[in-house]
Amino acid sequence: MSAEEQLAVFVRVLLGLVLGAFVGLEREFRGHEAGIRTNALVCGAATLFGAVSLELGDDRVAAGVVQGIGFIGAGIVFQRGRSVHGVTTAATIWMMAALGLAIASRMYLLACLVAVMVVLLLELAPVSDWVLARSRPRGWRRSIEGGRASGGDASEGPPVS
């Protein structure tokens, strides 16, 4: 691989770092576990792994990114009592890996548009909370990311889905 080609890969990794940091900024602002550095590193690493995968002509490297990020995401999700936390953070990390692979595949416009959509989607959390608060009886609270709720005695109120 020539020096010029390596610089082109570096620019792609740099774009992955920037887009990951852009998404991570929203997570950092909201006080979630995986912020600017985590999202930037995941997206940049996925870009680099994807570029290596393309250079070697071996899709197994890129496939390994998907499996590895799934493993990391599973470690992010944790349960405390009846509450589950980290699902959205894990999904965001998985999306950052997908963005990195898209950048490695030179799908720059797609990656940029998806990064913007991810931030917009993550910014909908207050809307989701508002809808959830009005869809459950009083005394119920949000405890599971993704729209499920729990609270009170297990025999009272609507079932947790």
Residues 6+ positions from 16 with CB-CB distance below 8 Å = 40, 43, 44, 45, 46, 47, 48, 99, 100, 103, 104, 111
Contact in structure between 102 and 110 (CB atoms under 8 Å): yes
Of 23-32, 85-94, 105-114, 141-150, the least confident: 141-150
Global confidence as pTM? 0.75
Tens of pLDDT, residues 37-57: 999 999 999 999 999 999 888
| Confidence label for 120 from pLDDT (cuts 50, 70 and 90) | very high
**Across the beta sheet with 141-144, what order do the strands follow?**
78-80, 83-85, 141-144, 148-150
- Ramachandran angles phi, psi of 84, nearest 5°: -115, 130
pLDDT of residue 149: 47
Domain residue ranges of the chain, discontinuous segments joined by +? 3-124
